[in-house]
C-alpha cells in the first residue's frame, strides 16, 4: 500500500503538471497527424493559427489531476499543479499575443 503523504508535495504537483500536458499533446498528435511528421505538424498548426488552442486542450489534463489530488486531500500537490497550470496559461497567452 502506498502512502499518499509520500507524494503530497509541490514537486509531485509540478512534475505531473508539466508531464501530463506533454503526454496529452502527443496523444492528440498521434490521433490527428494524418501521416505528418512532428515538424510539419507544428508548421501546419502555426500556419492555421491554432497552436494555442491545441496547447489549451493539452493543459486540460491538469484539471483532472488537480481534482484527483483534491479528492485524495493532497493539497500540497494540488498547489503545485495549480501553479504550473497558471504558468501554462501565461505561456499560451504570451504566444497568442505574438
pLDDT at 68 over 90: yes
How does pLDDT run across 3-57, given as a tens digit for each residue? 777 889 999 999 999 999 999 999 999 999 899 999 999 899 989 989 899 999 8
Average pLDDT over residues 67-95: 94
- Annotate 10-77 with DSSP letters as a single string: HHHHHHHHHHHHHHHHHHHHHHH-TT--HHHHHHHHHHTT-HHHHHHHHHHHHHHHHHHHHHTT-HHH
The model's pTM: 0.83
pLDDT at 1: 46
Amino acid at each position: 500500500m502506498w502512502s499518499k503523504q509520500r507524494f503530497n508535495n509541490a514537486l509531485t504537483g509540478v512534475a505531473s503538471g508539466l508531464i501530463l500536458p506533454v503526454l496529452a499533446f502527443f496523444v492528440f498528435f498521434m490521433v490527428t497527424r494524418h501521416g505528418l511528421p512532428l515538424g510539419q505538424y507544428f508548421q501546419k498548426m502555426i500556419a492555421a493559427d491554432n497552436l494555442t488552442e491545441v496547447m489549451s486542450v493539452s493543459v486540460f489534463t491538469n484539471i483532472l489531476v488537480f481534482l484527483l489530488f483534491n479528492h485524495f486531500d493532497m493539497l500540497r500537490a494540488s498547489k503545485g499543479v495549480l501553479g504550473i497550470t497558471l504558468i501554462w496559461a501565461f505561456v499560451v497567452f504570451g504566444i497568442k499575443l505574438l
